[in-house]
Amino acid sequence: MPVLNAKVASLQSVLREMQQMVVCFSGGVDSGYLLAEAVAVVGEDAIALTAVSPSLAPEEGADARRLAEQLGARHVLVQTHELDDPRYAANPINRCYFCKVETYEVATKHARRFGIPYVLDGFNVDDRGDYRPGRKAALERGVRSPLDELGFTKNDIREAARRIGLPVWDKPALACLSSRFPYGTEITPERLRQVWLCERTLHAQGFKVCRVRYDDVVARIEVEPEEIPRLLESSLRDLVVREFRAAGFKDVAVDLQGYRTGSLNEMKARSAEVVSLTASEC
């Protein structure tokens, strides 16, 4: 793939020119690949920074730490407190902006403290088509996105990551736990933990891609379409209902369309395409 080879070479050249950088690092494939290339080019002059808060599943912070260690990167875990901001907790449509403002401010302060001129993130070409209010926060604070600047698509990143043996090259995209809540539904640490416990149950049963959408007392499950029949099997269904109720939900439903981004915007309109796992008990 000559085009991809050229993009990789350009990325390495840009990183070499920067010399020092803080990489906003979630542990996913985008920021993970960027960090891997940065460490390969400038070594310890690349610092990975991971923001940790109740909106991040605990295992994601641990996974980020392990990956940074594998890459030989200097790694900083910082606590962020976006839930203390009522503008974020109210969960408006631009919620992500307030989260990213705090994350990027922490990253830029850290960079200034060490005399580092650049803060980078993993934003890429495929992200341009999504509604991403957090992008505004990055632009306001001068955060650079070299993958986007050089035309890397998501497929480019996965292929380049696979070539260098990055273990997360095929890791599914993960959004923060706050993305499970319909806009306007207040986000609290307790509700975030409720969703996390339920998703952990599904992961433990082998569902690699899953979301638990919060709808007051109802949990709406999304898994890959081909996995839906397994989720509806009686033995697994009973386990899921039991664990979800223990976490605090009254009812559990499965979205028959399966996992997709932006589905919370459809929640009310698509109620006919949801099957309840608890209706038979009524």
Q: What HEC string does 144-167 produce?
A: ECHHHHCCCCHHHHHHHHHHCCCC
pLDDT value of residue 1: 75
Tell me how far apart the alpha carbons of residues 282 and 275 are, in angstroms, rounded to a whole number: 14
243 dihedral zone (left: phi>0; alpha: psi -120 to 50; beta): alpha
Q: For residue 80, give the DSSP letter.
A: -
Question: What per-residue confidence (pLDDT) applies to 282?
Answer: 44
- Mean pLDDT split into 10-residue runs, the chain, 282 residues: 94 98 98 99 98 94 96 96 97 96 97 97 92 93 98 98 97 92 97 98 96 96 96 94 98 94 56 71 50
pTM: 0.91
What are the tokens at 89? 């907790």
Cα(255)–Cα(269) distance, integer angstroms: 12
Q: How many CB atoms lie within 10 A of CB 40?
A: 14
pLDDT at site 269: 47
Quick one: pLDDT at residue 267? 52
What per-residue confidence (pLDDT) applies to 264? 60
Give the domain ranges of the chain.
2-163, 177-281
CB-neighbour burial class of residue 157 (10 A; exposed 0-12, middle 13-18, buried 19+): buried
Q: Is the dihedral of CA 236, 237, 242, 247 positive or negative?
A: positive
- Identify the bridge partners of residue 196 per DSSP, sorted by sequence position: none
Residue 121 CA neighbour count, 13 Å, CB half: 22
Strands 274-276 and 251-255, bridge-based pairing? antiparallel
CATH number for domain 2-163, candidates 3.40.50.300, 3.40.50.620, 3.40.47.10, 3.40.50.2020: 3.40.50.620
Note the pLDDT of residue 262. 61
HSE on the CB side for 111, CA within 13 Å? 24
